[in-house]
Structure formats: structure tokens, C-alpha cells
Structure 1
Amino acid sequence: MSEALSVPLADFATHLSSEKRHSPRTCEHYLRDLKRLGAWLTIMGIDQWSKVTNHDMRRYVASLSKNGLSGQSIARHLSSTRRFYQFLLREGRSKDNPALDIRAPKSGRRLPKVADVDQLNQLLEVNPDDPLEVRDLAMFELMYSSGLRLSELAGLNLDAVDLVGGEVRVWGKGSKERLLPVGAKAAAAIRRWLKCRAQFVVGSELAMFVSQRGGRISRRSIQARLARWGSQQGAEQRLHPHMLRHSFASHMLESSGDLRAVQELLGHADIATTQVYTHLDFQHLARVYDQSHPRARRRSGAHTSDAVGSDSAGQ
């Protein structure tokens, strides 16, 4: 990437961190998207941000789509680009915003994967002896018990958990605070972990969950430990933290039917985000219907001419 492209990106990063006070992770996401755009511009022979046109951005969106990015991911790229050009306009480095009025292609909304209650019970009904596995069980029980995000779990401090009152206080997206219930199984697992924690913790570390080295456990480590746990317990699919959160939401909704309550527990600002879990119920019903009704499923040997819209239908 040319200096004419890279220098404004460095200035934008300073603007985000110093003036806007965005977190390092947010800055990293912006720059990752913009560096990808910069690399594409270089291939296209465009060496300055001020030379990028609306037509160029449409070609770039088409290339992202061709490379398999979802509509949601492309929308994020466009948002990063618009934000960057707002900065360039303010600084007098560009005369217009070429990403304005460009929309990402729509893509089907992927439903979150969930594990059923029996599968989760099988995964969590273990009695580990290894202290690190005692920690892992406490983390996974808490994620499923309270529907925590991965970042919320990793950022949890000791004083955020009240085992007597059965509560955990978390700070989610936008630093919004939520007070969530902690189930009996999760509380018992945490108590057991607290007895082991002292042998790992270094100094005055405040994190509830620490690594083998004694510092706060990273999100990447939690992901790896959960995948390892699932493999050891014979899980049918690869486990990841979001699956525990999605399973929490789905199981809560199945039992209570209270969408608003589930929205509050998950910390969703918009109930439309939570409504995706209502589709999971229909998927379950459709599966049962397909498996049970004698005329519900197309048999594997069915002829394509039976389908509506086949060539034979017009003869």
C-alpha cells in the first residue's frame, strides 16, 4: 500500500483512539476493514483516497460479495469506509464520501446454532479433578446459566459475582450494566473454582477467571478450552461460546415464552435482535413435523417433475 494511502489510515487511527476514545479493539476493526480496501485500491491502480469514486466503491462491494462475505460483513466494511471519509472530509483531504448511499447486498439471516437441553446436561454433568478443568466447568456453567457474552465472561471480576444472592453484574456492549441471575449449578461450580483459584493467581489480580499463568484469561483461550471440552465429552458439533449463549436464550424462551424478559437478560437494545430465537421454535416444530407426518417429506427417490415449476408443468 502506498504512503498516500497508509498515512491517512494512521491519522484516522489516532483520531479514533485520542479524540473519539474508542477501545483498541474497535480501532483494530476499523483499520482491518480499511486496510483491505486499501489493498484492493492498490491492485486497481488507485493511489489516493481522494481519487476513489462511487463507482469504485460499488466494484469493491461486488468483489467482497464474490469472495463470499455476507451482507452483514459488507455492511460493516461500508460503515467503516463512510466513517473514514467523514474524517477525511473534516481534514480537507477529500471532497466527497464515495461510500455514501451504497447498500450492502441482503443475505439470509443465519439462525444461531443451539444445543438441546439433554446434550448440555451431558456436557456439564462432569466432576473434574484437574484445577483448570474445574475453572472451565465454572466458566461454561456461568455462560449457560446467565447467557453471558464471551467478552463479558472474560472481563468478569471477583466482586461482580454475588453467590449468596445468586447474581452476577456484567457490563455489556456500550458499557451497559446488567444484573443477571446465577443458577445453583453455576454457583456450585464457581465456589469449587474459587478454592482452586489461589494456586494460579498472581499478585492482586481481580479477574474471576485466570489463566495457568495467573493473569486474566483471554477470550481466545476460553474459545479453545470450550472446543477442547466438547471434544473430550463427545459433543456432536464443535462447541463455541456463542452456542452456550444462544442455547440459554432458546431454552429460556421455550420455557417462559417471555420475549421481553429474554431481551433484558441478553442485553439486546432492540427486541428485533431477540426475535431470531422465535424462529428456532418453528424450526424445531418443522423438524418434528418432517419426521412424523407421512406426507410431510419429499422422499429421496421423488422425481424432479413432481416439483412446482418443473419443465413438465408447462406441457
Structure 2
Amino acid sequence: MTFDTAQFGAMQLLAMFIKDRKIQNQSEHTLDAYFRDISNFIDFCYAKKLELKQVETSDLREYVAFRVEKDQLSSTSLQRHLTSIRQFMKWAEQGNYLAINAADDFQLKRQSRPLPGLIDIETINQIIDQAAPEKPKDKQLWLRDKAIIELLYSSGLRLAEIQGLTIRDIDFTRLLLRITGKGNKTRIVPFGSKAKDSLVEWLKINRIWNGEFRPESHVFITQQGNVITPRQIENRVKFQALRAGVNVDLHPHLLRHCFASHMLSNSRDLRAVQEMLGHSNLTTTQIYTHVDFDHLAQVYDQAHPRASSSKIKKSF
């Protein structure tokens, strides 16, 4: 038997839905988002004198257009709104409060992920190879910042990964780092000889600031011997770009993007880059494949029997 939603009222159904989700131990944040998103949709339906059982796909499209025009919602926010509505209406359908769930198959067209911004290797070299400051304290800070920038670019580390790096994580003999990434997943990544040189110089200062090395000691610290914070890393990376006269908003994640793009451009090995970045899904790594259209054209010219312009010219 299917109940008439008018008998309960849409808001009563929403209250029942939230109560059911609360029993399932969903977080208060999630419950608040459900209530806010679904209430907005119910208000829209009420303004149209539309009951939930009457909602069709065209109404959902109209609702999306309404939210974009009214609140300038991004694609991500719209997806979240629709997920809330979809969960609610699916619950109502399973409880026999709705006969037809128009939201079940309704999907927004997925927006393509924005390509990460890039800076070229010459600009990165300009930042890393700039002269050290003359004042001793400033020079010590520079040696630390240089080692951070070298590792971010050399190994494509995330901000949290470089902040959490400890002495025991570095294998200077084989030039390898043991990185603990998202979800406490561990991976091994290489680092370059120039990054090694920068690390060695910095660790001399680290020992002055922090005293005796211990395996669990953090690699990057402040002058007071405390673990450097993510915000401090971000600020120092930006500062060193400005000091080098580079007009770019440099941040740790941009250096990770550059690492991925430059590695992929030179190696053509998507799987290897995926492994070094710590991506669980190859699709995530594929956003970097945009960087090498020249190579793509070269492969096409070499491989396709009707691609080469020189071959075409010879036939005339």
C-alpha cells in the first residue's frame, strides 16, 4: 500500500527521515546538511503547489536551475544537494510513502575537473637556486625552506606528508622516503640527489635547533625546535618565491602538480606516477595527462599510416 504524502506532509516525512538517519548514528553535520538541503527542495515544491508524489524529472531540472540562479551554487554543491534529495526520496519510496521516485535516475552532468596550474622547470630552478641570504639566521631559515621545496618538487609530497616526515623515514643510501599518506597508507618514493644535498645541509641546522637526532624526530622544525605547522610551510614557500622575484602564487600543492606533470611528460609512465603520488585511483592521476599534447601528436604522426604530412607531400 502506498500512502498519500499529503496525509503526512512533506516536512513530517523529513522529520521521520532525519530520525531514522539519527538512529543509524550519522553525524550531526550530515543530518544538518540533509535537513537544510531537503527543506530547500520542499520549500521549492510548496511554492509550486507540488506534492512529493508529483515530482518529475523536469521539476528536478527546474529546481537545479533555480538554485544556480538564486544562490550561484557550484557543481559540487549542487551534487551534494541532489544526493540529499535522492537519499530522502529513496527512503520515502522504500517506506511506501512514494510510488515513484523521480530523483532515482536524475544525474547532473559531471563537470570536468579543472586542470591544475603549472609553472615551468626554469621558474622552479629560479626559486631553488636563488642565492642564500647573508644574515646567519635568515640563511638557516633558507636552508630549511630550500629542503622543503626540493622535496615537494622532487617527490610530489602532500603538505601533511612533508610536515609529518621523520628522520627514520629517510634512506639516504638508496635515496628513498617512506611516506605515510591519506588513510595512513604507506608508500615508498624516491628523491633526487639535489634534494639529498639540500636535506644534508638543512639537517646540520636542525641539529643546532633541536639537539640530538632521534629516529622519531621531525625533519622540519622551527627555530624553537617545534614541529613546523602546515600554515608555516605554506607561508615560507610563498615567501621564497617572492624573494626569488617570481610572480606566482607558489604553494605546496602546486609543486606536487608540477612534479606529476613534469614526471609524466618525461616518463610517459602513468602507473609509476600514480604510485609515487599515492593515488588509489588511476583516474585521479589522469588529470595530468593534459600536459603532453606535443608527445601525443608525435606518437600519432609516427604511428598512424595517414598522419605524416611528409608522406602526403611525397604522393603529389
Normalised by the length of structure 2, the TM-score is 0.64
Deviation, 1:175, is 2.2
1:196 aligns with 2:200: no
Q: Distance in 1 between matches of 2:287 and 2:66?
A: 29
Alignment-derived partner of residue 281 in structure 1:
292
- What CA RMSD, in Å, does the superposition of the two structures yield over aligned residues? 4.6
Match of 1:111 among 108, 115, 134: 115
Structure 2 CA distance for partners of 1:167 and 1:73, relative to 1, 3 Å: farther
1:71 aligns with 2:75: yes
Number of residue equivalences: 265
Match of 1:146 among 143, 146, 155: 155
Deviation, 1:221, is 2.0
Gaps of 5+ in 2: 1-13, 47-51, 92-96, 298-316
Question: 1:159-209 CA distances to partner (integer Å, 9 max, x unpaired)?
Answer: 111122211011222222110001011111111111112344499773221
Deviation, 1:60, is 7.9
Alignment-derived partner of residue 171 in structure 1:
180
Alignment-derived partner of residue 260 in structure 2:
249
In structure 2, what residue type is equivalent to 1:182?
F
The worse-fitting range, judged by mean Cα deviation, of 199-208 and 262-271 is 199-208
Deviation, 1:284, is 9.7
SS at match of 2:161: helix
The worse-fitting range, judged by mean Cα deviation, of 272-281 and 201-210 is 201-210
Deviation, 1:73, is 5.0
Alignment-derived partner of residue 135 in structure 1:
144
Gaps of 5+ in 1: 18-26, 47-51, 90-94, 287-315
Q: Distance in 2 between matches of 1:195 and 1:84?
A: 57
Alignment-derived partner of residue 159 in structure 1:
168
Structure 2 CA distance for partners of 1:199 and 1:69, relative to 1, 3 Å: farther
8 Å contact from structure 2 (residues 164, 218) kept in 1: yes
Match of 1:208 among 214, 219, 222: 219
Alignment-derived partner of residue 234 in structure 1:
245
In structure 1, what residue type is equivalent to 2:181?
G
Q: Distance in 1 between matches of 2:35 and 2:205?
A: 44
Alignment-derived partner of residue 196 in structure 2:
187
Deviation, 1:118, is 0.8
Identity of aligned residues (%): 40
